[in-house]
Amino acid sequence: MVKLAVVIHAEEEFNWRSGFSRKNTKVSDCETLVHVIDSLTAAGAKVTLAMDFPFVTSDRGRAAIRYLRVQHENNIEFAAHLHPWVSPPFDNTIDEEHAKYSFPGNLPAELEYQKIRLLKQTIESECQREVVTYLAGRYGLGEATSGNLSRLGFKVDLSICPFRDYSHLGGPNFQGYDNRVFTRNGITHIPHTSGLFSSMPWVGAYLNENPAVYRRICQSTSFRSAIRLLQLDVRRLSPEGANFQQMCDTVRALRHAGQDHFVMSFHSSSLVAGSTPYTATPSDVDTMVSDILAFGHWFMVEQQGQAFLPQQLVGSSEIITADQLGVVL
Ligand SMILES: [Zn+2]
């Protein structure tokens, strides 16, 4: 049985190429977002809305939450998504708008804790539900994050992006991870599904089935030339940078490699033309919406998939531990 979680990064619109500013808190009308969620749930999917501080405190975000929590009571989970540069409390003794601190795991541990704490509290009071699932902004897990999440009662983390390395930007390196769900220190980690692709299709297929070989390539001193030689590309299961057929290909490739839990993700701001690099025009937004809905239908109906919310995996006997992953993380 294949299982799908849809995770939407619900956040403000800002120019991704212009750095990070505390002033960028604009949240537009959520009509398209709500339409997409209504349509996905009608196809049998369940949706996780991972919200950041500007979204959950905006009039438009709050109106969407009020509607969604009544309309889709058991098919929606509200999670916390931390964009630290727009999420109080602020500490003016460090330059919080510096790119380094856009990865919240790079903040001083106590400041990361306080930001997550206030965000969780704000979402819980708006949604009237306990928040147990966390998604770091820019996938920025850090050394103290796991302990902070445990202290705050979180049970699930969605921040791992398998095969990707953000260390050249000051962020985490996830090349040691693959797509398997696992638990560590009481937190269930559900990675953002990602596949490896190459212009030589057998290379991608082989590496998806043998992620340990990919890890060895990444550890080798000449790995950049190996990656170039193999023309390797990491593709997230997302309509951002992939079309409907490519998303289906990602699922097929990873199913073949034994994967059964999938996370399809995108940003709420991609549904507002001109906000993210993926949708410059209204017609791009229309295309993305139709790809999202086609994928939801394909997975849930044609593949007879089962929908899940991240919180539903907590305590599941199917989930392996970090030790059983068999990799050094
Ligand atoms: Zn984000």
Render 146-163 in DSSP notation, one character per residue: HHHHHHTT--EE----TT
Residue 306 lies inside a defined structural domain of this protein: yes
Residue 149 lies inside a defined structural domain of this protein: yes
Q: How many domains would you assign to the chain?
A: 1
CATH at residue 151: 3.20.110.20
Residue 50 lies inside a defined structural domain of this protein: yes
Length of the chain: 329
Residue 203 lies inside a defined structural domain of this protein: no
CA of residue 33 to ligand 1 center, whole Å: 15
pTM of the model: 0.96
Tokens matching residue 297: 């239908």
Angstrom CA distances, 325 to 183, 189, 329, stand at 10, 12, 9
Distance CA 106, CA 64 (A): 31
* Residue 231 pLDDT: 84
| CA triple 288-289-291, angle to 5 deg | 65
CA of residue 186 to ligand 1 center, whole Å: 24
Give residue 121's domain range.
3-194+260-319
Number of Cα atoms under 13 Å in the Cβ half of residue 41: 20
Instruction: Give the model confidence (pLDDT) of 174-226 as tens digits.
Output: 998 999 999 999 999 999 999 999 988 899 999 999 998 898 888 877 777 77
Residue 71 lies inside a defined structural domain of this protein: yes
Residue 327 lies inside a defined structural domain of this protein: no
CA of residue 83 to ligand 1 center, whole Å: 6
Helices of type H across the chain: 31-42, 53-57, 59-71, 109-127, 145-151, 201-209, 211-219, 223-230, 244-256, 282-297, 322-325
CA of residue 11 to ligand 1 center, whole Å: 6
| Reported confidence tier of residue 329, pLDDT bands at 50, 70, 90 | low
Instruction: Give the model confidence (pLDDT) of 138-179 as tens digits.
Output: 999 999 999 999 999 999 999 999 999 999 999 999 998 999
Question: What mean pLDDT do residues 91-107 have?
Answer: 96
Residue 307 lies inside a defined structural domain of this protein: yes
Residue 224 lies inside a defined structural domain of this protein: no
* Residue 229 pLDDT: 78
CA of residue 14 to ligand 1 center, whole Å: 11
Q: Which of 70-74, 95-99, 321-325 has the lowest average pLDDT? A: 321-325
* Residue 222 pLDDT: 76
**In sequence order, what are the beta bridge partners of 184?**
187
